[in-house]
């Protein structure tokens, strides 16, 4: 029977998240999942949230349960504006827009800045969710050349020739998803100078910046070119993702359009959620809570680093992350992480193949491992399984051709 529906052209550009699809598989009993970028549920401050819910519903129930301002809860916006001063970002609350997770922030950025065929520069590799958010608006992705510290400054100068009219460069300077890499202070200054010279604004995404292990990352990119930067932040990794709470900090000239896009999308982020989170954090709760998350994640990072050294075959390459949630592994020549995934899951271990994180020319040898949702013991067990799968695959790769 012929369908009466005609889909928009942008619908054809939408693709399912491979991570979300893998997560469905990992719900099967016995699977040790290192796939999802989920924070550890052991870090959720349940009692503090419970107390805040009770207080909000007791003291301001009508306000919390009613429609609210599209910009967000004013005290929460003020809190954000004060908080980012530590990153070198000087803004007023009137530049803070509360979003339904920072993923919505990416969608709003795409909605107001992307056009059909307009260039958008991204890291190599980059966050899959950003590619998903921008793609329906039909940009032309340009991959920035980089190294283990992030994009190379000279890659911005090339944009004028290779991708004139680039709308923005999307960057994750702190413990990037998927690679875990962090940009040093000198690299940040060089990148922002190059971006400014090329006239390419920056969209800075920072969901992991508080999850440092030994030393805090350098100041935000946005602090170096405020009028040419959009900054995205999130409460998902430091509090709970279930409340879906993030924010955009934007130049005043862009803020009205982001607000209009937000109004069209959902009117406002749930006011109850905003009030509860503000009640939890307003008196310095995160300053006590986040160090506990760091300690847990650092122990897990160390457990995974040890296990990788013990179990992965020669030729595998990775960097030990200084924060965040991920290891990025490059396998030897001849390996295909996507092709091996089914065997790995059948053996009891799940990961994310790295190909999904590339706008162009994906590297099939790459994969991402999350180290925050399993215990150190289970991390060791999971990496041992992965090592066994890789060694068995290596024997196939090295078999002589008849």
Q: What is the pLDDT of residue 399?
A: 54
Q: How does pLDDT run along the chain (402 residues), one tens digit per residue?
A: 788 988 888 888 787 666 666 666 666 778 999 998 899 999 999 999 999 999 999 999 999 999 999 999 999 999 999 999 999 999 999 999 999 999 999 999 999 999 999 999 999 999 999 999 999 999 999 999 999 999 999 999 999 889 999 999 999 999 999 999 999 999 999 999 999 999 999 999 999 999 999 999 999 999 999 999 999 999 999 999 999 999 999 999 999 999 999 999 999 999 999 999 999 999 999 999 999 999 999 999 999 999 999 999 999 999 999 999 999 999 999 999 999 999 999 999 999 999 999 999 999 999 999 999 999 999 999 999 999 999 998 776 555 555
Q: What is the pLDDT of residue 398?
A: 56
**Which of 59, 82, 106 minimizes the C-alpha distance to 272?**
59
Report the half-sphere exposure of 374 (CA within 13 A, side-chain side): 27
Token representation of residue 371: 């180290």
The whole-angstrom separation of Cα 366 and Cα 263 is 39
Q: What is the pLDDT of residue 394?
A: 78
List Cβ neighbours of 29 (8 Å cut-off, separation of 6 or more).
none
Token representation of residue 314: 């020669």
Q: What is the pLDDT of residue 5?
A: 87
User: Diameter of the chain by CA atoms?
Assistant: 77
Please give the span between the terminal C-alpha atoms of the chain, in angstroms, as a whole number. 51
Q: What is the pLDDT of residue 13?
A: 79
Q: What domains are defined for the chain?
A: 9-44+287-393 (3.90.1150.10), 66-284 (3.40.640.10)
Q: What is the pLDDT of residue 17?
A: 64
Check: CB of residue 242 under 8 Å from CB of residue 211. no
Q: Which residues of 335-352 are buried (b: 16+ CB within 10 A; e: fewer)?
A: bebbebbeebbebbbbbb
The whole-angstrom separation of Cα 227 and Cα 230 is 8
The whole-angstrom separation of Cα 377 and Cα 172 is 30
Token representation of residue 166: 């680039």
């Amino acid at each position: 029977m012929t369908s009466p529906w005609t889909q928009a052209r942008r619908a054809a550009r939408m693709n399912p998240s491979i991570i979300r699809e893998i997560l469905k598989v990992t719900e099967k009993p016995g699977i040790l999942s290192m796939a999802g970028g989920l924070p550890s549920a052991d870090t959720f401050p349940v009692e503090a949230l419970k107390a805040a819910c009770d207080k909000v519903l007791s003291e301001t129930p009508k306000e919390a349960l009613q429609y609210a301002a599209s910009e967000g809860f004013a005290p929460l916006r003020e809190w954000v504006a004060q908080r980012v001063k530590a990153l070198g970002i000087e803004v007023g609350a009137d530049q803070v827009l509360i979003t339904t997770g920072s993923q919505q922030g990416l969608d709003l950025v795409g909605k107001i800045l992307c056009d059909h065929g307009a260039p958008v520069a991204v890291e190599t590799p980059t966050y899959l969710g950003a590619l998903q958010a921008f793609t329906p608006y039909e940009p032309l992705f340009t991959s920035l050349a980089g190294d283990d510290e992030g994009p190379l400054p000279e890659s911005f100068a090339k944009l004028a020739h290779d991708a004139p009219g680039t709308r923005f460069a999307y960057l994750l300077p702190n413990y990037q998803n998927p690679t875990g890499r962090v940009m040093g202070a000198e690299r940040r200054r060089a990148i922002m100078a190059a971006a400014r010279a090329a006239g390419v604004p920056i969209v800075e995404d920072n969901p992991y910046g508080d999850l440092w292990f030994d030393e805090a990352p350098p100041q935000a990119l946005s602090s170096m070119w405020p009028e040419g930067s959009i900054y995205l932040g999130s409460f998902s990794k430091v509090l709970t993702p279930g409340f879906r709470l993030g924010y955009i900090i934007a130049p005043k000239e862009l803020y009205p359009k982001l607000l209009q896009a937000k109004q069209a999308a959902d009117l406002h982020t749930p006011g109850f959620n905003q009030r509860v989170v503000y009640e939890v954090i307003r008196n310095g709760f995160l300053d006590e809570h986040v160090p506990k998350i760091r300690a847990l994640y650092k122990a897990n990072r160390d457990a995974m680093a040890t296990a990788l050294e013990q179990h992965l075959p020669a030729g595998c390459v990775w960097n030990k992350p200084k924060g965040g949630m991920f290891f990025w592994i490059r396998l030897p020549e001849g390996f295909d992480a996507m092709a091996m995934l089914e065997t790995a899951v059948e053996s009891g271990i799940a990961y994310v193949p790295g190909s999904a994180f590339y706008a162009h020319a994906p590297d099939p040898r790459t994969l991402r491992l999350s180290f925050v949702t399993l215990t150190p013991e289970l991390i060791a067990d999971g990496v041992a399984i992965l090592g066994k799968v890789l060694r068995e695959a290596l024997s196939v790769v090295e078999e002589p051709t008849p």
